[in-house]
């Protein structure tokens, strides 16, 4: 079972445009799609579609349409009662696949709601094969909330974290005490706390892997770093690998990183070796990028057979 905790869930509204975005212009929407989402929620969606048990913990009124939508989709949603409805995030998608996001901050969270999320996490973590803490933190939450939750669960659950900005920096600042079993930064996030150039990391997988390896030196179990069109790298205690994506017509990149993370977790649950877990992660992310909005790919849409992971030599001066 995969337990996901999404402290700042969102109603994801994707507007597909008939042309490129022009500031100050009037645009025509080809399609508008709304879906209950958030990083952890997206992973629970992927789990259900793949036939893997998942529980999604979110702060929301129990009868909120957001919760009812997840329940109707077959997701075991466990809402922690809160006063505010989930935020609305807007994505503008252009015909060439370029996406522009406008994310709302979300309702201010109270200490009581945070305590409820922590209690829900503690009570279910022991039965989960993976615990996923994902997304931004809502206003009112301390920036080290993820770091503290990881520290609380050390030794009792394998935790994967996918976040950014101040919560990510707080997690890194708390290492090794806050070290999760898995971190999933993108190139920009990886660069933000390793002092490197994000364009360099995204363009050169070996540079990204070397930056990720510094996290293993500080106690992190493994790092899955997504590199956009260059695929992803995986660094574990057993080595480093890079996998490029299969040929993909990009429709929307929203949710592709979440799908990549689920692909890795699914590979782990299947007992696959690291290179094959990475291949499955990249295949899931690519399949998601080929679908509109935040659509989660079905297993039959995922082609890991078209992805090859290559081992990277990270010794100084290595070029292969």
Q: Is the pTM of this model over 0.75?
A: yes
What are the pLDDT digits (tens) for 20-67?
999 999 998 998 988 899 999 999 999 999 999 999 999 999 999 999
In the set 12, 162, 258, 268, the catalytic residue is: 258
Domain positions in the chain:
1-20+29-180, 183-320
| Domain 183-320 is found in CATH 3.20.20.30 | no
Give residue 224's pLDDT.
98
Give residue 318's pLDDT.
64
Phi, psi of 23 (to 5 degrees): -60, 130
Which of 72-86, 185-199, 240-254, 306-320 is predicted with the least confidence, judged by mean pLDDT?
306-320
pLDDT averaged over every residue in the chain: 93
Q: Give Cβ neighbours of residue 61 (< 8 Å, ≥ 6 apart).
A: 67, 79, 81, 82, 83, 85
Residues 224 and 28: their CA atoms lie apart, in Å, by 38
| Domain 1-20+29-180 is found in CATH 3.40.1190.20 | yes
Phi, psi of 212 (to 5 degrees): -65, -35
- pLDDT interval class at 320 (50, 70, 90): low
Give residue 96's pLDDT.
85
- pLDDT interval class at 317 (50, 70, 90): low
Give residue 319's pLDDT.
61
- Map residue 165 onto helix, strand or coil: helix
Which of 126-135, 156-165, 181-190, 244-253 is predicted with the least confidence, judged by mean pLDDT?
244-253
Outline where DSSP puts E strands in 6-120. 10-17, 29-37, 54-59, 76-80, 87-93, 99-102
Tell me if residue 258 is catalytic. Answer: yes
What are the pLDDT digits (tens) for 261-274?
999 999 999 999 99
CB 16 within 8 A of CB 30: yes
- With a pLDDT cut of 90, the percent of the chain lying above it is 79
What are the pLDDT digits (tens) for 75-108?
999 999 998 888 999 989 888 878 898 999 989 9
**pLDDT, mean of residues 229-236:** 96
């Amino acid at each position: 079972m995969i337990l996901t905790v999404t402290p700042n869930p969102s109603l994801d509204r994707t507007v597909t445009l008939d042309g490129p975005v022009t500031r100050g212009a009037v645009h025509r929407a080809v399609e508008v799609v709304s879906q209950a989402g958030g990083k952890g929620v997206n992973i629970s969606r992927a789990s259900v579609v793949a036939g893997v048990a998942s529980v999604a913990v979110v702060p929301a009124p129990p009868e909120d349409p957001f919760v009812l939508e997840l329940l109707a989709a077959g997701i075991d949603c466990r809402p922690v009662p809160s006063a505010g409805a989930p935020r609305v995030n807007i994505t503008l998608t252009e015909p060439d696949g370029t996406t522009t996001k406008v994310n709302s901050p979300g309702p201010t969270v109270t200490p009581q709601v945070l305590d409820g999320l922590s209690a829900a996490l503690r009570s279910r973590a022991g039965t989960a094969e993976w615990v996923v803490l994902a997304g931004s933190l809502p206003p009112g939450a301390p920036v080290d909330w993820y770091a503290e939750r990881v520290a609380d669960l050390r030794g009792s659950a394998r935790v994967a974290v996918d976040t950014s900005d101040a919560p990510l920096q707080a997690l890194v600042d708390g290492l090794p005490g806050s070290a999760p079993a898995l971190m999933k930064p993108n190139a920009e996030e990886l660069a933000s706390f390793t002092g490197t150039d994000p364009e360099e990391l995204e363009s050169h997988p070996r540079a990204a892997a070397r930056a990720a390896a510094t996290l293993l030196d500080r106690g992190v179990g493994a790092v899955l770093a997504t590199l956009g069109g260059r695929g992803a790298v995986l660094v574990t205690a057993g080595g480093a690998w890079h996998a490029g994506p299969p040929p993909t017509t990009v429709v929307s990149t929203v949710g592709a990183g979440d799908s990549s993370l689920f692909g890795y977790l699914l590979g782990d649950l299947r007992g696959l070796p690291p290179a094959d877990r990475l291949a499955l992660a990249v295949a899931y992310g690519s399949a998601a990028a080929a679908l509109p909005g935040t659509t989660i790919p079905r297993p039959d849409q995922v082609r890991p057979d078209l992805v090859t992971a290559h081992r990277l030599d990270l010794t100084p001066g290595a070029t292969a």
